Each structure stands twice: as C-alpha cells, then as structure tokens.
Amino acid sequence: MRAIVRKMLLSAICLTVGVNLVFAGNPFDEFQSQLAGQVKAIAEERLDEFAKDLGALLGGGCFHQGKALGIPGFDVGIHIPAVKVNDDNIIIKQADFDTVLLPILQAELGLPAKIDLIARFTSYNDSTMIGAGVRYGIFKSAIPGLPCLSVQAVYNQLDVSAGVNKFKATTLSASGVVSFNLPVITPYAGIGMDSTKINPDSTIISDAEGSATGFRVEAGVNVSLVPLTYIQLGGSMANGNIGYTAGLGLKF
C-alpha cells in the first residue's frame, strides 16, 4: 500500500508540475485592464461572458463516477478540467489564452446512508479555490455492467489577488452522474449545471458584477491497471464549447 501511495503522489506531483509549465502565463492578467474605466453595462457584459467559462472550469472535474463510495470508502486525486475559451470572453482572450485549465485536488469520503462528502482545493499564481459538496447515491450495483447512479452538488469559491487583478468568483454546480463497473475500466457520463457570480474588487470598478448559468455534459472513462488506483480521461461540452478533463487518484 505504501509503495502505491508513493507512486500516486509522485505521479500527482509530476502532473501538477506539467500543468504549471503549460500554465506559464495567467489567464487573469487582463482582468483589470478590460474593466477599469468602462461603463457599467459594458463591464457587466464582459463579466458575464467571463463567468460562463470560469463557471465551466470551476465546476469541471468534480465527478468521474456515479457510484457512492460507502463506508469506509475514500477517494483522493488530482483532476484537471480544461475549457476552450468562447470568442466573446474578451477578458481571457486578451490575455492570449484559447484554452484554460486548472489542477484541482479533490478528496471524497463515504458516509452512511449513501452519502459522500467532497472537498476541493487548488492554489496557483495568487489564486486560491476552496470547494465543498455532497453526493447522494441513488442506485448502486456490485454486478458488472449494471449502472450506478448518483446526484451531487458542489460549491466552489475562487479568490484572485494577482497584482491589480482582484476578484472573487463563486460557482454552485449540480450534477447527475451514471457509471458502469466493468473489469479494469469504468465508463461514466454526467450532466450538470453551473451557476456563477463574479465580484470585481472595488478598486477596479464599483457596483458591477457578472453572472452566468451554463449547462455541461461530460463523458469519460476511469482505467485501473494497478489495484486501488485509477487514471481518468474525459471530454465535455459546456456552453457550446468543447472541454476536456484528466486526472489520477487513489481509491478504496
């Protein structure tokens, strides 16, 4: 068990370092410059478009199975959602990003009554996100090939304080997920809704906020070649834009 944990931690570190190398810039670099001095209507229009992509990003990667863990179930891993930036999202487009991605550490704990607790965390370049949620298992089958179904809700809060680029974003994501337990692989599919609010710091613009509600569909597969571990790969569609998700974790 210790050897598996060490391998998983090493892989997680390598994956996070790799993402940080890709994420050499900051997609929020132009946040202040695209809002300061604008009239409220234009600023809020830009914030709304920004909220669409950011909500899909923060809500992404929060599920990869429809099975409730149960006691004494535990699942910890790094999941990396990626979202293609929509053409109307001037704030991120001006920072020269066509795709944004975010590595998120997620831990899940099985409780009685088919309930799982979910905790999420990431910190990068003066940006910190903390999330918490709950999953309820509607149907759980131990027979290979039969579906497992669950619903979940996750609340995420992102605080950004990168120089003059300061804002707070909150996203509430509700999802329904189905998965099928097969030898070695576990396919999954889910549909979710992300409700996001953006509040710029008052030093950037006063009395302006952004909001967006978007729908997200995702399908993928978990591959378990080593006992108690998995690699997760998936594709998604959010607000008409293609996205991806990848991850690895330890589960028992």
Q: What is the pLDDT of residues 142-175, one digit of tens each?
A: 787 889 999 999 999 999 998 999 999 999 999 9
Residue 51 predicted with pLDDT over 70? yes
What's residue 248's pLDDT? Answer: 95
The CA distance from 171 to 211, in Å, is 10
Tell me, what's the pLDDT at 87? 92
Helix H, strand E, coil C: the string for 41-71 is HHHHHHHHHHHHHHHHHHHCCCCCCCCCCCC
Bridge partner list, 216: 192, 238
Tokens 């929509």: give the residue. 86
- The residue among 30, 148, 8, 31 whose CA lies nearest residue 78 is 8
- 17: pLDDT strictly greater than 60: no
Q: Supply the DSSP symbol for 213.
A: E
* Structure tokens belonging to residue 140: 């759980």
The pLDDT of residue 7 is above 70: no
Q: Which domains does the chain have, with CATH numbers?
A: 2-251 (2.40.128)
Give me the chain's average pLDDT, please: 89
Element (H, E) at 91: helix 90-93
Cis omega (within 30 of 0) for bond into 147: no
Question: Whole-angstrom Cα distance, residue 192 to residue 173?
Answer: 7
Q: How many residues does the chain have?
A: 252
Amino acid (1-letter code) at residue 7: K
CA angle centred on 108, ends 197 and 53, rounded to 5°:
25
Could you tell me which of 15, 21, 83 has the C-alpha nearest to residue 49?
83
Nearest to 78 by CA among 248, 251, 250: 248
Confidence of residue 45 (pLDDT cuts 50, 70, 90): very high
Cβ within 8 Å of residue 7, ≥6 positions away: 226, 229
Under DSSP, the state recorded for 220 is: E
Question: Over the stretch 117-134, which tens digit does the pLDDT of each residue have?
Answer: 999 999 988 899 999 999
